[in-house]
Amino acid sequence: MFITRSFSKAHGLAGMRIGYALAQEETLAKIRGAWGMGDVNMLGAVAALTALEDKEHIAWEAEENAAIRDEVIGFFRSRGHEVPDSNTNHIFVNIGMPAAQFREGFLEHNVLVGRDFPPLEQSHCRISLGSREEMKIAMEVFAKVLG
Protein backbone atom coordinates (compact mmCIF):
# COMPACT_ATOMS: atom_id res chain seq x y z
CA MET A 1 0.00 0.00 0.00
CA PHE A 2 1.20 3.49 -0.86
CA ILE A 3 -0.61 6.52 0.60
CA THR A 4 0.15 10.06 -0.52
CA ARG A 5 -1.06 13.39 0.78
CA SER A 6 -0.39 16.92 -0.35
CA PHE A 7 -0.43 20.19 1.50
CA SER A 8 -2.29 21.94 -1.29
CA LYS A 9 -5.98 22.81 -0.87
CA ALA A 10 -6.82 22.33 2.82
CA HIS A 11 -3.46 23.57 4.02
CA GLY A 12 -3.23 26.51 1.62
CA LEU A 13 0.16 25.46 0.23
CA ALA A 14 -0.62 24.49 -3.37
CA GLY A 15 2.22 26.56 -4.79
CA MET A 16 4.76 24.98 -2.44
CA ARG A 17 4.46 21.56 -4.14
CA ILE A 18 4.90 19.77 -0.84
CA GLY A 19 3.44 16.50 0.39
CA TYR A 20 4.33 13.18 1.91
CA ALA A 21 3.99 9.45 1.36
CA LEU A 22 3.38 6.57 3.73
CA ALA A 23 4.42 3.05 2.82
CA GLN A 24 6.58 0.17 3.93
CA GLU A 25 10.29 0.98 3.76
CA GLU A 26 10.84 -1.53 0.94
CA THR A 27 8.20 0.19 -1.20
CA LEU A 28 9.61 3.66 -0.48
CA ALA A 29 13.13 2.48 -1.37
CA LYS A 30 11.93 1.30 -4.80
CA ILE A 31 10.14 4.57 -5.45
CA ARG A 32 13.13 6.65 -4.35
CA GLY A 33 15.32 4.72 -6.79
CA ALA A 34 12.95 5.27 -9.69
CA TRP A 35 11.78 8.77 -8.96
CA GLY A 36 14.49 10.44 -6.91
CA MET A 37 12.40 12.07 -4.21
CA GLY A 38 14.10 15.40 -3.70
CA ASP A 39 14.74 17.33 -0.56
CA VAL A 40 12.18 19.76 0.73
CA ASN A 41 13.43 23.32 1.04
CA MET A 42 13.37 25.02 4.44
CA LEU A 43 10.44 27.30 3.59
CA GLY A 44 8.35 24.32 2.45
CA ALA A 45 9.21 22.31 5.56
CA VAL A 46 8.36 25.14 7.96
CA ALA A 47 5.15 25.94 6.06
CA ALA A 48 4.04 22.28 6.14
CA LEU A 49 4.77 21.86 9.85
CA THR A 50 2.98 25.11 10.65
CA ALA A 51 -0.02 24.13 8.52
CA LEU A 52 -0.35 20.82 10.37
CA GLU A 53 -0.76 22.71 13.63
CA ASP A 54 -3.70 24.78 12.36
CA LYS A 55 -6.33 22.10 12.94
CA GLU A 56 -9.18 24.63 13.05
CA HIS A 57 -8.39 25.90 9.55
CA ILE A 58 -7.95 22.38 8.20
CA ALA A 59 -11.36 21.35 9.59
CA TRP A 60 -13.02 24.48 8.18
CA GLU A 61 -11.40 24.01 4.77
CA ALA A 62 -12.46 20.35 4.59
CA GLU A 63 -16.05 21.28 5.48
CA GLU A 64 -16.11 24.19 3.02
CA ASN A 65 -14.59 22.06 0.25
CA ALA A 66 -17.19 19.32 0.81
CA ALA A 67 -20.03 21.86 0.64
CA ILE A 68 -18.67 23.43 -2.56
CA ARG A 69 -18.10 19.99 -4.10
CA ASP A 70 -21.69 18.96 -3.30
CA GLU A 71 -22.98 22.20 -4.84
CA VAL A 72 -21.00 21.73 -8.04
CA ILE A 73 -21.90 18.04 -8.34
CA GLY A 74 -25.56 18.95 -7.81
CA PHE A 75 -25.30 21.62 -10.50
CA PHE A 76 -24.05 19.12 -13.09
CA ARG A 77 -26.39 16.31 -12.07
CA SER A 78 -29.40 18.64 -12.22
CA ARG A 79 -28.50 19.23 -15.87
CA GLY A 80 -28.25 15.52 -16.66
CA HIS A 81 -24.45 15.12 -16.54
CA GLU A 82 -22.94 12.02 -14.98
CA VAL A 83 -20.63 12.85 -12.08
CA PRO A 84 -19.13 10.11 -9.89
CA ASP A 85 -19.04 10.82 -6.16
CA SER A 86 -15.75 12.34 -5.02
CA ASN A 87 -13.90 12.91 -1.76
CA THR A 88 -11.25 15.11 -3.35
CA ASN A 89 -10.93 18.74 -4.40
CA HIS A 90 -11.83 17.85 -7.98
CA ILE A 91 -14.56 16.04 -9.87
CA PHE A 92 -14.80 14.27 -13.22
CA VAL A 93 -17.83 15.23 -15.28
CA ASN A 94 -19.21 13.55 -18.37
CA ILE A 95 -19.59 16.73 -20.41
CA GLY A 96 -20.74 14.89 -23.55
CA MET A 97 -18.10 16.51 -25.75
CA PRO A 98 -14.35 16.34 -26.25
CA ALA A 99 -12.42 18.19 -23.55
CA ALA A 100 -10.67 20.25 -26.26
CA GLN A 101 -14.02 21.58 -27.47
CA PHE A 102 -15.02 22.30 -23.85
CA ARG A 103 -11.76 24.21 -23.35
CA GLU A 104 -12.36 26.28 -26.48
CA GLY A 105 -15.82 27.22 -25.24
CA PHE A 106 -14.34 28.41 -21.98
CA LEU A 107 -11.66 30.44 -23.75
CA GLU A 108 -14.44 32.37 -25.47
CA HIS A 109 -15.44 33.49 -21.95
CA ASN A 110 -11.83 34.24 -20.94
CA VAL A 111 -11.64 31.23 -18.61
CA LEU A 112 -8.73 28.79 -18.83
CA VAL A 113 -9.33 25.05 -18.52
CA GLY A 114 -6.49 22.64 -17.80
CA ARG A 115 -5.21 19.60 -19.60
CA ASP A 116 -6.96 16.47 -20.83
CA PHE A 117 -7.13 13.35 -18.70
CA PRO A 118 -6.73 10.37 -21.05
CA PRO A 119 -8.43 8.08 -21.70
CA LEU A 120 -11.46 10.20 -20.79
CA GLU A 121 -10.67 13.25 -22.94
CA GLN A 122 -13.38 12.49 -25.52
CA SER A 123 -16.24 12.81 -23.04
CA HIS A 124 -15.06 13.98 -19.61
CA CYS A 125 -13.42 16.95 -17.97
CA ARG A 126 -11.63 17.12 -14.62
CA ILE A 127 -12.81 20.15 -12.70
CA SER A 128 -10.77 21.40 -9.77
CA LEU A 129 -12.74 23.11 -7.05
CA GLY A 130 -12.04 26.69 -6.10
CA SER A 131 -13.58 29.07 -3.63
CA ARG A 132 -17.35 29.48 -3.46
CA GLU A 133 -17.06 32.72 -5.46
CA GLU A 134 -14.83 31.13 -8.11
CA MET A 135 -17.16 28.17 -8.52
CA LYS A 136 -20.21 30.44 -8.83
CA ILE A 137 -18.54 32.12 -11.81
CA ALA A 138 -17.43 28.75 -13.19
CA MET A 139 -20.97 27.36 -13.00
CA GLU A 140 -22.28 30.38 -14.93
CA VAL A 141 -19.75 29.64 -17.68
CA PHE A 142 -20.49 25.89 -17.55
CA ALA A 143 -24.16 26.71 -18.20
CA LYS A 144 -23.23 28.86 -21.22
CA VAL A 145 -20.77 26.37 -22.71
CA LEU A 146 -22.75 23.20 -22.05
CA GLY A 147 -26.19 24.70 -22.68
Domains and CATH numbers, the chain: 2-53 (no CATH), 56-146 (3.90.1150.10)
37, pLDDT greater than 80: no
Report the amino acid identity of residue 116: D
Residue 93, strand partner residues: 125
pLDDT band at residue 39 under the 50/70/90 scheme:
confident
Q: Report how far residue 145's alpha carbon sits from residue 104's, in angstroms, rounded to the nearest whole number.
A: 9
pLDDT at 136 over 80: yes
The pLDDT, as a whole number, for residue 67 is 97
pLDDT tens digits, 78-97: 999 999 999 988 999 999 99
DSSP letters, 39-57, are PPPHHHHHHHHHHHH-HHH
pLDDT band at 16 (very low <50, low <70, confident <90, very high): confident
Q: Which residues pair with 23 in a beta bridge?
A: 2
Specify the pLDDT at position 86: 94
Identify the pLDDT of residue 38. Answer: 65
The per-residue pLDDT of the chain, averaged, comes to 89
